Amino acid sequence: MKRINIGLLGLGNIGSGTYKVLELNRKHIEATTGLDLRIAKILELDTTRERGFAVGPEKFTQDPEAIFADPDIDIVIELLGGVEPATSHMLAALKAGKSVVTANKAALAENYEALTEAAKASGAQLRFEASVGGGIPLVGAITELLCANEFTEILGILNGTTNYILTKMAEEGRAYEEVLKEAQALGFAEADPTADVEGHDVANKLSILMSIVFGTRVRPEGIPTRGISQITKKDIEEAEAEGCVIKLLASAFKTADGVECFVQPTYLNKTHPLADVRNEFNALFIKGNAVDDLMLYGKGAGPFPTASAVLGDAIAIAKTLP
Ligand code: HSE
């Protein structure tokens, strides 16, 4: 069996989910891939928190170099979140020739060129399936399986927290603040949920998507963005009276002059397939000139769905290693 040693940066919400899914499915992964994936070292300050599983204290380190300089570490998984120090750590890992898997949309959207160029320069791989759409395998679908298409538009629900809040407000008449707390407790929200509710998380994801779908680099600050913090019960009732639901949509489409894009709460007629995307589910609508209309749907947030994408990327890299 091929042994693959992983250096994990961050054992928080998603890091713990990744650890648990790897243990839960270890036998299945070994049987189907012939790979023995081991989390060998973990960069994490909080070594004592109760996570519901035991980690040998010898695995923890507070020195990132102990991971990047270790010849036995094959893959680095970055799950720290936030732009820094995550970007610097990923650049250092790639420079050291380690392939990197990340779920970090903020770091990627902010530093897409630097990170992809560092990977190209070192010949290591950079994979980021979990950064957009949680467990939905849309990055792999777009960059690999659909690469024979030219795309003209993207329309998506790309944030689980806000979709959860809007669904519970509309269907159960519950208050915004109360549902936000619930989404945080379920592990959907960012450490600072402002990024979710003000639309910045979606802008980061749309920025990444535009790079891979259109080959167009638009920084997240360049995307006109409005979140859901101002949406009231009355707005939702008015939408309902018109046969609509309110969804936080990410849109980008090709124009004669380039690409137009925005993130904003939008009235969607209940007959639209995206209107049925409820709770923490996400969906991406894309139009390719060969495949035509396509919708990818699944859980966009939460430790286990995100871990599914993270480990899928790690396994894809591991298969290519000698
Ligand atoms: N906070 C994000 C969301 C996590 O709610 O969608 C997944 O990117």
Residue-level pLDDT at 191: 87
Residue at 67: amino acid letter: I
| 269/311 same-domain check | no
Residue at 213: amino acid letter: V
What separation in Å is there between the alpha carbon of 213 and the centre of ligand 1?
20
| 81/171 same-domain check | no
pLDDT digits (tens, 9 = 90+) for 142-193: 999 999 999 999 999 999 999 999 999 999 999 999 999 999 999 999 989 9
Average pLDDT, the chain: 97
| 18/151 same-domain check | no
Residue-level pLDDT at 142: 98
Position in ligand 1 atom list of the atom nearest CA 205: 8
The residue segments making up the domain with residue 38 are 2-134+303-318
Catalytic residue among 98, 105, 168, 205: 205
**Does the beta carbon of 199 lie inside 6 Å of ligand 1?**
no
- How many alpha carbons lie under 13 Å from residue 196 in its C-beta half-sphere? 22
| 285/308 same-domain check | no
Instruction: Give burial (CB, 10 Å; 0-12/13-18/19+) of 231.
Output: buried
Q: Taking residues 29-42, what's their average pLDDT? A: 98
| 101/169 same-domain check | no
What separation in Å is there between the alpha carbon of 247 and the centre of ligand 1?
15
Is 98 designated active site?
A: no
> What percent of the chain has pLDDT above 90?
99
CATH number of the domain bearing residue 117:
3.40.50.720
For residue 94, give the 3-state DSSP assignment.
helix
Q: Give this prediction's pTM.
A: 0.97
| 266/121 same-domain check | no
The tally of domains found in the chain comes to: 2
| 215/73 same-domain check | no
| 146/295 same-domain check | yes
Residue in 15, 139, 143 with CA at minimum distance from that of residue 79: 15
| 311/290 same-domain check | no
**What is the spatial distance between Cα 36 and Cα 289, in angstroms, rounded to a whole number?**
40
Which residue bears the tokens 């000139």? 289
Residue in 159, 14, 2 with CA at minimum distance from that of residue 78: 14
CATH number of the domain bearing residue 267:
3.30.360.10
| 154/112 same-domain check | no
